[in-house]
Every structure is written in C-alpha cells, then in structure tokens.
Amino acid sequence: MNLYKAYYGLHRSPFEITPDPYFLFPTESHKEALASIYHGLLNHKGFVLLTGEVGTGKTLLVRCLLEALASRGNPFAYVFNTRLGAIEFLQYIAADFEIPTSGTKGELLRALNAYLMEKHRVGQISILVVDEAHQLPPDILEEIRLLTNLETPQQKLLQILLVGQPELDDRLNLPQLRQLKQRIALRARLTPLEETETKGYILNRLALAGANGIGSELFPDTTVSAIHRYSSGIPRLINTICENVLLAAFGRCAASVTPEMIEEIAADFRLGIVA
C-alpha cells in the first residue's frame, strides 16, 4: 500500500510501472500505432510490426489491443517468452488457442491449421501476438513466417503482430530473413513523449487515480519540465520518477513537488539529462 495515496486523496496508485490499460494516455503516436495495427490485423494484412524504445508503452498498447480483440470474439495467442525452441514455441501458441499440444511438429501444425480453418469458417480472425520479438533467434522468426503459409486461396488464416525494440528492424535485415521482411504489410512505431504530452500524461494518470483537480498544483509546469528532461519522455521512467518523488513529497508533507525534488530522485536513479 502506498503511503501517499490517502495524503493526496488518491484511490489508487497512479504511477505503477505495470502496463495497465486503465491508464492508457493516447498520444498521437499511440493512437496512430493502435489504429494502424487494428486495421492491419482485422483486414487480413498478414504481418504487422510494432517497434519502440524500451519503456515507450509497447506492452501497454498490446494489452489494449488484446482487450479490443477479445471484445469482438476474435481468438488470439500472446507469446511473451522468447526463450523457446521451435516445438515449444508452437506448443505455446497451441495452448493459448486451447488446441491439444501432444504429438509431433507435423501433427501440431495440422491441428493448428484445422483450428484456424474452423475459426475462418465462422467469421473469426485468429491472431498471434509475439512480444519481445527482437530477442527471437532467426530460426524461430522463420518458423513464424512459415505459419503464414496456413491460408485459403483468398487470405491468410493467421494474422501476426511482432512487437519489439528497434533492434528488431536490424534482425529483419538479416539475409536469411528477407522473405519475412518482405511479408510485413504494416509498420507502426512508438516514440517518446513531447514535453506537453508528458504534462498531459502525468495529469491524466493523477486524474484517473482520483486526484480531483489537484494535478497541476501537485506537479507545476517547472516540475513537469524537470521530469521530462530526466526521463527523456519515456513513460516508464516518468512513472518511476513520479512514484518516488510522491513518496518524498509525502515524507516532507509537501503540497507540491518541486524541481529540486526531481533532481534528487534523478540523482538517486542515475538519470542523466539527454541533450
């Protein structure tokens, strides 16, 4: 339990680093990425790619996407453990789709194909989301590409979203992955927040946590500027700074957070200003 919640009139913690869709702050970058991915998957584009630096909100966006897909009744498999062999990877996908996972690789693929055909027959779109895809070895990425060979004469039976850090683009430039790179129909990218977006992000989270209009008083513009400088607009770092500075402000019974408090927290976490 966070000690500062009652002191500042909050009913929940506003700056947890867990990717909670409740706290989504839709910047232009996020709205554009979400719309592009949603369009690509529901219009049978096959392969869609989402990249972004560490902490920019990729997993949060994916969870919002999965909630939207589930509300439409579309089945999905979500793979976030990239330390799997080829058979284990296919078994993981099958388990998420609730397909029996015993048997050989060939039997797994036949079962998966039968499942996808049945979902296609009833008008459902089956989706595979692979998070942390920049960590996948080339052989697993090639296995993923081969899954797009499960198709009807008109369209792919499995829509695939690859999510990863910018290194994923480098991985896809490998000669042995050129076929996969050519199959990517849509690309989306998340970028760090601008300073005005950082302010909106902080105030939005405080409001959702029950701040009752005190957000601007608690985090004045000069303080937000300091947070933006030290976080470089990365949402995860903004959360870390704000969570810790609220604890510090509570300890001092302060009604607002000062830039000096931000500098102290930044020093504690070894956060330097990026020019």
Residue 89, domain CATH: 3.40.50.300
- Report the candidate in 90, 51, 53, 96 with the shortest Cα–Cα distance to residue 74: 96
How many structural domains is the chain composed of? 2
| Mean pLDDT across 33-43 | 91
Do 213 and 177 lie in one domain? The reply is no
What is this structure's pTM?
0.90
In this prediction, residue 266 has a pLDDT band, given cuts at 50, 70 and 90, of very high
Confidence of residue 154 (pLDDT cuts 50, 70, 90): confident
Q: What percent of the chain has pLDDT over 90?
A: 75
Return the beta strands (E) in 36-130 as ranges. Answer: 47-52, 76-79, 126-130
Q: Do both 32 and 72 map to the same domain?
A: yes
Token reading at 122: 């009833």
103 pLDDT above the threshold of 80:
no
Average model confidence (pLDDT) across the chain: 91
Do residue 172 and residue 235 come from a single domain? no
pLDDT above 90 (res 71):
no
- Residue (of 64, 65, 80, 78) closest to 20 by Cα position: 64
C-alpha 200/C-alpha 191 separation (Å) is 15
Question: 110: number of CA atoms within 13 Å, CB side?
Answer: 6
Residue 215: band (very low, low, confident or very high) from pLDDT cuts 50, 70, 90:
confident
Question: Which residue range(s) make up the domain with 104?
Answer: 28-190
Of 134, 158, 190, the domain-final residue: 190
Query: Are residues 250 and 183 part of one domain?
Result: no
* Domain final residue pick, 151, 169, 190: 190
Rounded to whole angstroms, the Cα distance separating 44 from 50 reads 16
Is there a single domain that holds both residue 219 and residue 182?
A: no
Domain CATH code at residue 259: 1.10.8
- Establish if 79 belongs to a structural domain: yes
How far from 74 is each of 63, 122, 159, CA to CA, in Å? 14, 11, 11
